[in-house]
Amino acid sequence: MCHPDDQTPVVDDTPGEHAIGRDTRSTGQRNHDALNAVVRAILASGQLGQHNGLPATIIVSTTLADLQAGSGQALTAGGSLLPMSDVIRLARHAHHYLAIFDKGRPIALYHTKRLASPGQRIVLYAKDRGCSFPGCDVPGYFCEVHHVTDFATCRTSNVDDLTFGCGQHHPLVKPGGWKTRTLATGDTEWIPPPHLDHGQPRTNSFHHPEKLLRGDEDDP
Ligand SMILES: [Zn+2]
């Protein structure tokens, strides 16, 4: 059963003589393939529920160039690097979303609801990757969406005005506490209250180590 080489593997009945005769898999391999079929069926069912408004699934970000070349790596919203070959293999069975950026700046996805839309959360997985508080290492899966400009003031949930904050740092933004603003680079600046300001970094490079690399002079 569940022979991955079969075009239509038997999953809920006894395989015929022909299928049994050419099945040379070990017991361990057959158990593995059966478990794989079970998990895949559950994933495809659409009954797995949601996590922060999105289907419980792996979310990765990558570039169109790497995707077209079939090489390089993608970054999951949990902070892991995935080889492109794995991304393409997983994508065969995935629910597909597409978020598009122009030179790192997210495009569109504006709306006027209080809660960030699933699409905006996907954009934040790619843009912020994790909590934007300086030095924080909490990945995107475990973050809340923070309105950089207080929603009560701006009345919109423009993705340019949203950022990720973890459960520990998001509540620091309050009257008399920390303030946030979006810099021209798209990064979120966290401004400490005067009594906590000792000249510390105000943006978080933890989830964007590539920004610390000095540009190669040969780069176009
Ligand atoms: Zn944090």
The alpha carbon of 136 and the centre of ligand 1 are apart by a number of angstroms equal to 5
| 3-state SS assignment for residue 119 | helix
Tell me the domain boundaries of the chain.
1-45, 50-91, 104-205
What pLDDT sits at residue 152? 63
What pLDDT sits at residue 214? 64
The alpha carbon of 143 and the centre of ligand 1 are apart by a number of angstroms equal to 8
- The whole-angstrom separation of Cα 113 and Cα 189 is 24
The alpha carbon of 192 and the centre of ligand 1 are apart by a number of angstroms equal to 14
Report residue 151's pLDDT band, with 50, 70 and 90 as the boundaries: low
The alpha carbon of 52 and the centre of ligand 1 are apart by a number of angstroms equal to 17
- The whole-angstrom separation of Cα 133 and Cα 167 is 11
Q: What is the pLDDT of residues 173-189, one digit of tens each?
A: 998 999 999 888 888 99
The alpha carbon of 80 and the centre of ligand 1 are apart by a number of angstroms equal to 18
Tokens of 215: 């540009």
What pLDDT sits at residue 108? 47
Instruction: Provide the percentage of residues in the chain whose pLDDT is more than 90.
Output: 27
The alpha carbon of 42 and the centre of ligand 1 are apart by a number of angstroms equal to 32
What pLDDT sits at residue 220? 42
Q: How far from chain centre, in Å, is Cα 34?
A: 28
The alpha carbon of 180 and the centre of ligand 1 are apart by a number of angstroms equal to 13
The alpha carbon of 131 and the centre of ligand 1 are apart by a number of angstroms equal to 5
The alpha carbon of 164 and the centre of ligand 1 are apart by a number of angstroms equal to 8
Mean pLDDT computed over 88-108? 64
In this predicted structure, the answer to whether residue 29 has a pLDDT above a threshold of 70 is yes
State the chain's mean pLDDT as an integer: 79
Mean pLDDT computed over 3-8? 73
